[in-house]
Structure 1
Amino acid sequence: MNPLPLSGDAGSPTRYDTPTILLHWLTALLVVGLFALAQVWDALPRGTPTRKLLQSLHVSFGLLFAAVLAARIVWRWTAGRRLPRASGGFWGLAGSSMHVLLYVLMAAQVVLGFLFRWAQGEAFTFFGLFDVPTLIHIDREQRRAIGGLHDTVAWTIIILAGCHALAGLAHHYWLKDGILRRMLPWR
Structure 2
Amino acid sequence: MQHDKHPSTLSNAATRIAAGDDRTSYDRISIALHWLTVVLVLAQFALSQVWGFFPRPTRHVLIVTHMSFGILLTAVIVMRIVWRLSPGHQAPVASSGWVELAAKAVHYLLYVLLAAEAVLGFVLRWSGNEAMSFFGLLIAPPFAPFSKAAHHTIGEAHEFIGWAIIVLAAAHAAAAMFHHFVVRDAVLTRMLPGLKRR
Q: CA RMSD in A?
A: 2.0
Contact 2:131 2:141 in 1 (8 A): no
Contact 1:168 1:180 in 2 (8 A): yes
Residue 81 of structure 2 corresponds to 73
Contact 1:119 1:138 in 2 (8 A): yes
Contact 2:130 2:140 in 1 (8 A): no
- How far residue 132 of structure 1 moved from its aligned partner, in angstroms, is 2.0
Residue 96 of structure 1 corresponds to 104
Among 139, 142, 154, the residue aligned to 1:132: 139
Structure 1 residues not aligned, in runs of 5+: 1-12
Contact 2:24 2:94 in 1 (8 A): no
Secondary structure (helix, strand or coil) at the match of 1:138 reads: coil
Secondary structure (helix, strand or coil) at the match of 1:34 reads: helix
**Amino acid corresponding to residue 123 of structure 1 in structure 2:** A
Say yes or no: does 1:40 pair with 2:50: yes
The superposition leaves residues 99-148 of structure 1 with CA deviations (integer Å, 9 ceiling, x where unpaired) of 111000000001100100102222312112x3323222231411110000
Divergent runs of 4+, >6 A: none
Residue 60 of structure 1 corresponds to 68
- Size of the aligned set, in residue pairs, is 173
How do residues 1-187 of structure 1 correspond to structure 2 at under 5 angstroms? 15-44=25-54, 48-83=56-91, 85-128=93-136, 130-141=137-148, 142-187=150-195
CA distance in 2, matches of 1:131, 1:17: 35
Q: TM-score under structure 1 normalisation?
A: 0.85
Structure 2 residues not aligned, in runs of 5+: 1-22
